[in-house]
Structure 1
């Protein structure tokens, strides 16, 4: 192993250890939101990719709902309730999008709002 490889590996490990829960959540939302947008923009041929991205978005929101439902969660009860509501909305609206009875935009807007909140800082969980 050469010095450059060792330095890259050491830097990568250090970068991972300094990440916060907020930055990880932001990155997850950013990735799934980007995948949803890219699949939607690619048209009908990319429908299977859109379905997979929407499924992954639902999994992310389900994980958040489970987290905020935990009595040990440190967020305020009001914020926890709002996040839980958004998780429910995401689940229902995704079904409507897949049935072609609703637009995709509200899902993207909700994710964007969450990313803004995560990037603004605030109370940690």
Structure 2
């Protein structure tokens, strides 16, 4: 099966919620690959090395997803309840700001995982445990 046929099949069989969940799971997994190493690094230089090893790309994917989500929830036609829209927009702003700090060698990557994982659980229809 060609790649384009595969993508068409996925598009025809997955709901938007399932697609969002799949993308967020992949990005969260990519970030988790580097989180312990980054958070345990004792120097800024070590943290920047982890970023160069692949964390930077995972963070860019994450912030791109959250920025897209923020644009969607703030659009006038969005059907989500206003309080949920506001909460998601606030989370997106946090992700953008915290990612900038991590890219500068500051902050903890685990904080981004603590944002993504409950959203994954919610998209899966699970009740997320309070962190």
Q: Which runs of 5+ in 1 are unaligned?
A: none
Change in CA separation of 1:75 and 1:50 when aligned onto 2, cut-off 3 Å? same
Larger Rg belongs to: 1
| 1:37 matched residue in structure 2 | 32
CA deviation vs aligned residue, 1:83-103 (integer Å, no higher than 9, x gap): 000000000011111222211
Change in CA separation of 1:101 and 1:41 when aligned onto 2, cut-off 3 Å? closer
- Partners of 1:40 and 1:47 within 8 A in 2: no
More moved, 40-49 vs 73-82? 40-49
SS in structure 1 at match of 2:68: helix
| Count, aligned residues | 115
**Equivalent-residue separation in structure 2 for 1:62 and 1:112 (angstroms):** 17
Once the two structures are TM-superposed, the CA of residue 37 in structure 1 deviates from its matched residue by 1.3
| 2:89 matched residue in structure 1 | 84
- Partners of 1:36 and 1:54 within 8 A in 2: yes
TM-score by length of 2: 0.76
**Equivalent-residue separation in structure 2 for 1:66 and 1:16 (angstroms):** 22
**Equivalent-residue separation in structure 2 for 1:35 and 1:28 (angstroms):** 11
Give the alignment's Cα RMSD to 1 decimal. 2.5
TM-score by length of 1: 0.79
1:19 aligns with 2:18: no
